[in-house]
């Protein structure tokens, strides 16, 4: 069976973009692949976090994975820092990755532009840690949103270079980026992606934990384009984004949706979207609350054990390739 690996950071709040761009596909793919879903807390600390919150956020994200439909009996769910091989392989890959490659990463460049002097070395090295996550599991496919595409290309380059210089060690992974939903835009500013890190964009971001009133308010205030027709049209990004969300939440075809809203105004679309979204979130929020704390600990413990066993094999192989094993005898 081929493998998939993906992860999300336990920072901020999980939003509809994360779900539609990534988590939804993890759930859809988990039975066709041997699946690993990681809560990447080592990535989270590349930006300063309140230490009191890190563990709570990590567990909350694990609950969300399970509540949206990740089945711990089929998939391995684990916390990145519970498997030390991630940090160890990162060092080995640091010696293969090039500064010039990392300097080209757009997420890194954006952070430097915003925070200049205060960007940690961890932010710079973030893509190498991500490569280690993926390569440790001999991953075939990585389901992610569009914003991770460049990191995936770097992962492939690092794997190919390592294999060439130190012997066949890693499977070279392919990205899985959905055709629709890979880049859900902010409801407040359709030129920006929906994002949990951007404090100003809260109003444009539907959180999976939002209550009914917040969902209604955010859709009601959603920015729209000029014109009145409700049609899928990429040149009208605001309405296109709302329709894309509606399409993904209802599974109705674009033609059906256009027919449904023929002659209706934006207000009707927004109201219908809010209704559908509230219905969609309700069972997820109920499941989040109902997951037993001890059960969650057990799932994460078992997940870490399963992950560790596989990660260790790859790590040893990489160390042998580099000449790090065998020096004592
Ligand atoms: P993060 O929460 O940043 O760790 O992201 C988790 C996953 O959600 C990644 O696969 C991202 O590519 C995806 N993602 C984040 N924001 C969006 C968005 N606005 N639209 C679609 N996918 C997204
Ligand atoms: N960088 C990813 C994000 O912010 C999270 C991530 C870390 C990841 N390691 C990964 C995603 C490995 C896929 C595979 O969305």
> Residues 112-133: pLDDT tens digits?
998 878 899 999 999 999 999 9
Domain ranges, residue 58? 3-178+293-321
What's the pLDDT at 104?
98
Q: Is 170 found in the same domain as 67?
A: yes
The DSSP secondary structure of 146-195, one letter per residue, reads: GGGHHHHHHHHHHHHHHHHHH-S-----EEE--SSSSSPBPSS-TTSB--
Is the C-beta atom of 18 inside 6 A of ligand 2?
no
Q: Which residue has a Cα nearest atom 2 of ligand 2?
A: 8
> How far, in Å, from the CA of 259 to the mean position of ligand 2?
38
Q: Is 10 found in the same domain as 92?
A: yes
Token representation of residue 259: 């027919």
3-8 sheet: strands from edge to edge: 75-79, 34-39, 3-8, 141-143, 174-176
What's the pLDDT at 22?
98
Q: Is 12's pLDDT higher than 90? A: no
Active site residue 193: yes
Task: Say if 328 falls within a structural domain.
Answer: no
Token representation of residue 53: 């919150």
Q: Which residue has a Cα nearest atom 22 of ligand 1?
A: 21
Q: Give the containing element (helix H, strand E) for 143.
A: strand 141-143
Is the C-beta atom of 148 inside 6 A of ligand 2?
yes
Averaged pLDDT for residues 90-107: 98
Active site residue 57: no
What's the pLDDT at 198?
61
Q: From the candidates 57, 111, 218, 270, which is the catalytic residue?
A: 111
What's the pLDDT at 116?
76
High-pLDDT (> 90) share of the chain, %: 93
Cα(329)–Cα(326) distance, integer angstroms: 6
Q: Is 314 found in the same domain as 239?
A: no
Q: Residue 321: which of 163, 89, 86, 87 has the closest Cα?
A: 163
Q: Is 75 found in the same domain as 12?
A: yes
Q: Is 305 found in the same domain as 273?
A: no
In this structure, are residues 247 and 180 in contact, taking their beta carbons and an 8 Å threshold? yes
pLDDT tens-place string over residues 46-74: 999 999 899 999 999 999 999 999 999 99
Q: Is 163 found in the same domain as 73?
A: yes
Q: Which atom of ligand 2 is nearest to the CA of 130?
A: 9
pLDDT tens-place string over residues 288-329: 999 999 999 999 999 999 999 999 999 999 999 999 987 666
Q: Is 199's pLDDT higher than 80? A: no
Q: Is 269's pLDDT higher than 80? A: yes
Task: Say if 187 falls within a structural domain.
Answer: no
Q: Is 252's pLDDT higher than 90? A: yes
> How far, in Å, from the CA of 324 to the mean position of ligand 1?
36
Task: Say if 327 falls within a structural domain.
Answer: no
Is the C-beta atom of 5 inside 6 A of ligand 2?
yes
Q: Residue 244 is part of a domain; what is its CATH number?
A: 1.10.240.10
Tokens 């070279």: give the residue. Answer: 172
**102-107 LR contacts (CB < 8 Å, sep 24+):** 102/127, 102/128, 102/154, 105/150, 105/151, 105/154, 106/150, 107/147, 107/150, 107/151
Q: Is 298 found in the same domain as 240?
A: no
| Burial environment of residue 286 by CB neighbours within 10 A (0 to 12, 13 to 18, 19 or more) | exposed
Task: Say if 217 falls within a structural domain.
Answer: yes
Residues with Cβ within 8 Å of 77's Cβ and at least 6 positions away in sequence, in order, are 37, 38, 39, 62, 65, 66, 70, 299, 300, 303
Task: Say if 203 falls within a structural domain.
Answer: yes
Q: Which residue has a Cα nearest atom 13 of ligand 2?
A: 6
Q: From the candidates 109, 192, 193, 218, which is the catalytic residue?
A: 193
User: What backbone phi and psi angles, to 5 degrees, belong to 182?
Assistant: -70, -15
Task: Say if 185 falls within a structural domain.
Answer: no
Cα(237)–Cα(128) distance, integer angstroms: 33
Q: Is 311 found in the same domain as 235?
A: no
**Residue from 4, 8, 133 to probe ligand 1 pocket by mutation (most atoms less than 8 Å from CB):** 8
Task: Say if 192 falls within a structural domain.
Answer: no
What's the pLDDT at 321?
97
Q: From the candidates 2, 57, 196, 295, which is the catalytic residue?
A: 196
Q: Is 216 found in the same domain as 121?
A: no
Cα(159)–Cα(170) distance, integer angstroms: 6
Token representation of residue 76: 């391995």
Q: Is 110 found in the same domain as 96?
A: yes
Q: Count up the domains in the chain and report the number.
A: 2
> How far, in Å, from the CA of 262 to the mean position of ligand 1?
32
Q: Is 302 found in the same domain as 246?
A: no
High-pLDDT (> 70) share of the chain, %: 98
> How far, in Å, from the CA of 14 to the mean position of ligand 1?
9
Instruction: Identify the band that residue 159 occupies on the pLDDT scale cut at 50, 70 and 90.
Output: very high
- Mean pLDDT score of the chain: 96
Task: Say if 191 falls within a structural domain.
Answer: no
> How far, in Å, from the CA of 196 to the mean position of ligand 1?
9
What's the pLDDT at 181?
97
> How far, in Å, from the CA of 322 to the mean position of ligand 1?
34
Q: Residue 107 is part of a domain; what is its CATH number?
A: 3.40.50.620
CA-only gyration radius of the chain, Å: 21
Q: Is 170 found in the same domain as 217?
A: no
């Amino acid at each position: 069976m081929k493998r998939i690996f993906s992860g999300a950071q336990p920072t901020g709040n999980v939003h509809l973009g994360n779900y539609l761009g990534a988590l939804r596909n993890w759930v859809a793919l988990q039975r066709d692949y041997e699946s690993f879903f990681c809560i990447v807390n080592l990535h989270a600390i590349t930006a300063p976090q309140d230490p009191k919150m890190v563990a709570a956020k990590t567990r909350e994200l694990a609950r969300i994975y399970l509540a949206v439909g990740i089945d711990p009996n089929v998939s391995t769910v684990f916390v990145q820092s519970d498997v030390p091989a991630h940090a160890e392989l990162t060092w080995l890959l640091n010696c293969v990755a090039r500064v010039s490659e990392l300097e080209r990463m757009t997420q890194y460049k954006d952070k430097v532009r915003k925070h200049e002097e205060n960007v940690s070395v961890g932010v710079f090295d973030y893509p190498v840690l991500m490569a280690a996550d993926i390569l440790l599991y001999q991953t075939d496919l990585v389901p992610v949103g569009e914003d991770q595409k460049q990191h995936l290309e770097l992962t492939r380059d690092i794997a190919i270079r390592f294999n060439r210089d130190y012997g066949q060690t890693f499977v070279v992974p392919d990205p899985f980026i959905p055709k629709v939903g890979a880049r859900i835009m902010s409801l407040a500013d359709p030129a920006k992606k929906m994002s949990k890190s951007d404090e100003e964009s809260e109003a444009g971001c539907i959180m999976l934990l939002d209550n009914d009133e917040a969902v209604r308010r955010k859709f009601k205030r959603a920015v729209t384009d000029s014109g009145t027709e409700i049609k899928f049209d990429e040149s009208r990004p605001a309405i296109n984004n709302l329709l894309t969300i509606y399409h993904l939440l209802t599974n109705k075809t674009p033609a059906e949706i256009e027919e449904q809203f023929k002659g209706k105004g934006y207000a009707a679309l927004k109201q219908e979207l809010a209704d559908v979204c509230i219905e969609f979130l309700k069972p997820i929020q109920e499941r989040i609350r109902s997951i037993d704390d001890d059960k969650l600990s057990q799932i994460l413990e078992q997940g870490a054990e399963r992950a560790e066993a596989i990660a260790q094999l790859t790590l040893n192989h990489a160390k042998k390739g580099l000449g790090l094993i065998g020096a004592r005898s």
